[in-house]
Amino acid sequence: MFRKRSIPLLDAIVNEIISKIYIIWGRFHERFIENPTYVGFYSILSGSVLGQLVMLLATPIITRLYSPSDFGILSLYTMVVSVLLVFATLKYELAIPLPKENKKAINLMTLCFGLTFGISVISILLIGLIGRVFASETDLSLLSPYLWVISLSIFGGGVYNILNYWAIRDKKYSDIAKTRVNKSVFGSTGKIAFGIFNMAPLGLILGEFIGQITGGLTFLRSFLAKNRQELNCISWKAMVSIAKQYYRFPLYSCPSVLFNTLAFQMPVLMLIRLYGPETVGLYTLANSVLVLPASLISSAASQVYLGEVAQFIHRDPAKVKKYYHAVTRKLAFISLPTISLIAVLAPFFFPLIFGTVWDEAGLYCIALSGMVIAQLIFSPPSILHYCGRNNWVLLFDISRTILTGGVFLLCAMWGYSPLLSLVLYSITMALMYVVNYFMNLKAIACLTKE
């Protein structure tokens, strides 16, 4: 009797559980799988994972073909190109996602292409006239044999950045994913091929350039396939008009990004001056490996974030704050355990994976972990540009640059080792990223008039 009664009851419980599962799955599918925001996120994430996986598999080979000093020279080269790239478009490309009309956005993009070409030509002339003399009189003398690649990298990097922001505007997240894979595959293949032929450190530099070019071509094909017919709207008058409309970007964002770049690249300049290219190479590998896993997701989130926030500002500014908090929480959930685990394991695995000459880089991972965690959580979803607070960004980046240089100068005066210098640098930068977080909250409050 009891068994007969229990069977219908059990069936009812099972049916109730199954119905609840269907309801929960339906809500999950609607919120996360069908949500355009998360579709974009997953698309970029897949490309990032594949691209970074290629780099991860290639790095142990590359570190055995090139020395820490070679990586130090690559870092110095990257620093120079990064600083010059700031002027390639005067940072007008940051505004490409903002215009409501495609006509204005295309003219803005054309303006960026023209500026990039002009700056590249000017850099060719300057390098030809005074490049070697200037390099020999500064800390850039190690780059003298490779100055000819700088102009090419400025043009390739500028074009890539412009088309990347157009892809963000169009929400072409699959194109961003493909580009990341292509950059990694062709860039890593180039570095290995040049390394086999003993072209160190030039092979590392050419590998970076090849990655830029292939990434830019992927974007360009996609853009022309969709927007070729709209190119007839380009005119000098429209470009001048759009340049005036977004004048704040060259006025505030350009110097701000310059100081931002200097702040990021300052350790390279200071370390190479104080300790030599080998220390810079060790720092570069440690920083790259430390950022690698968490940046797969944080970078993807940032790309989607920019596209969504640009739309929210036009349509519903009140959603910006909620979206900002959601992205920050997700980045914290991902970055904190990932970076902490890598930092703890790095001293044991670096010599095994990359070779014994790289063992000190494992200790550098521990030193830099606090800064990288704060950077990944607070820095990618910066809202200041899109809230019209470009002057705040400039003030923040100037302060960060001064503090970075000050930390290393004090460490040099006190005779600190590279490891201790990086510990103090990491603590200082982590505190600055926390300050940046509160600045973002204030900007959002001003935007929504809270």
Would the pLDDT of 119 be above 60?
yes
Whether the Cβ atoms of residue 261 and residue 83 lie closer than 8 Å to each other? yes
Residue with tokens 């390739």: 156
Domain boundaries, the chain: 1-34, 46-246, 252-450
Which of 435, 447, 180 has the alpha carbon at shortest distance from 323?
447
Tell me which amino acid residue 53 is.
L
pLDDT given for residue 2 in this prediction: 44
- pLDDT tens-digit readout, 235-284: 899 999 999 999 888 887 788 788 878 888 889 988 988 898 999 999 99
Query: pTM score, two decimals?
Result: 0.79
Q: Which position has the higher pLDDT, 168 or 68?
A: 68
Please count the other Cβ atoms lying within 10 Å of the Cβ belonging to residue 93.
26
pLDDT in tens, 148-170: 899 999 999 999 999 999 988 88
Contact of 192 with 211, CB cutoff 8 Å: no
**What's at 320, amino acid-wise?**
V
Question: Is the bond preceding 201 in cis, omega lying within 30 degrees of 0?
Answer: yes
Please state which of the ranges 15-19, 69-73, 294-298, 319-323 shows the lowest mean pLDDT.
15-19
Angle at 374 between CA 372 and CA 377, to 5 degrees: 105
Distance from C-alpha of 297 to C-alpha of 421, rounded to nearest angstrom: 29
CA 149 to chain centre: 22
Among 190, 260, 199, which Cα is nearest to 70's?
A: 199
- As a whole number of angstroms, the distance between CA 32 and CA 130 comes to 55
User: What's the whole-number average pLDDT of the chain?
Assistant: 82
pLDDT tens digit sequence for 353-374: 999 999 999 999 999 999 989 9
Residue 77 CA, distance from chain mean position? 17
Structure confidence by residue, pLDDT tens digits, 177-206: 888 888 889 999 999 999 999 998 999 999
Is residue 78 within 8 Å of 206, Cβ to Cβ?
no
Task: Quickly state the pLDDT bin for 29 (edges 50, 70, 90).
Answer: very low
Does residue 109 surpass a pLDDT of 90? yes
**Structure confidence at residue 146 (pLDDT):** 87
254-274 vs 68-85: helix crossing angle, rounded to 10: 160
**Any idea which of 61-75, 93-107, 415-429 has the lowest mean pLDDT?**
93-107
